[in-house]
Amino acid sequence: MKRLTELHGGSVEAHSEGQGKGTTVTATFPVVATPGREAEEREAPAEAARRILIVEDNDDAREMLR
């Protein structure tokens, strides 16, 4: 994941409070301008809906993430 994210100009950070506490992984990608649009049109309001793709082969974990 780290290498793929970096190839797209992004970064990955992981944080854990310790064993058995879980881990938070954050992938950050740069905003890409859409050709032909003004800057105001590209900026989505904070309340805009987002889509997230979850890829998990464990049914219980996938349901929990959903």
- Say if 54 falls within a structural domain: no
Which pLDDT score is estimated for 50? 76
Domain containing residue 13: 1-32
- Say if 56 falls within a structural domain: no
**CA–CA distances in Å: residue 24 to residues 18, 27, 37, 38:** 11, 10, 34, 35
Which pLDDT score is estimated for 36? 67
- Say if 58 falls within a structural domain: no
pLDDT digits (tens, 9 = 90+) for 1-46: 788 888 889 999 999 999 998 999 999 998 877 676 555 555 666 6
- Say if 38 falls within a structural domain: no
Which pLDDT score is estimated for 12? 93
The total domain count for the chain is 1
